[in-house]
Amino acid sequence: MADQQIANITSEMRNARRQYGETIHRQFEDWKLTNSEQHVAMLLLKGLSFNEIAAVRDTREKTVRQQASTIYAKSGVDGRHAFAAWFLEEFITEEPNSAAA
């Protein structure tokens, strides 16, 4: 019984992850991010630093910073934290004060 419940939860989590990835990709397309910008944007969402992204992409940190600025401009946010928060808002379903009421 417990093994089946774990399997069901694992399956649900995989499905949710896939759907979330598709949602992120569609949003990148809506913002008209280039393939390079989409790759950088995903690495930003995963929490990599500019230096780490530059190493992964075999480019200069300055290039990554410029791409990040373009990503923020196209998405209408003012930085990395706002960019990540934009995607998290989809999962926030109630106001913080309503949980305390």
- Give residue-wise pLDDT tens across range 17-76: 888 889 899 999 999 999 999 999 999 999 999 999 999 999 999 999 999 999 999 999
Exposure class string for 55-92: b at 16+ Cβ within 10 A, else e: eeeeeeeeebeebbebbbebbeeeebeebeeeeeeeee
- Give residue-wise pLDDT tens across range 77-99: 999 999 999 988 866 765 656 55
Phi (first) and psi of residue 59, to 5 degrees: -140, 180
pLDDT at 8 > cutoff 90: no
d(CA 75, CA 83): 8
Tell me the angle at which helices 61-75 and 80-88 cross, rounded to the nearest 10 degrees: 50
Contact 33, 74 (CB under 8 A): yes
Q: Looking at domain 2-92, which CATH architecture does it have?
A: 3-Layer(aba) Sandwich (3.40)
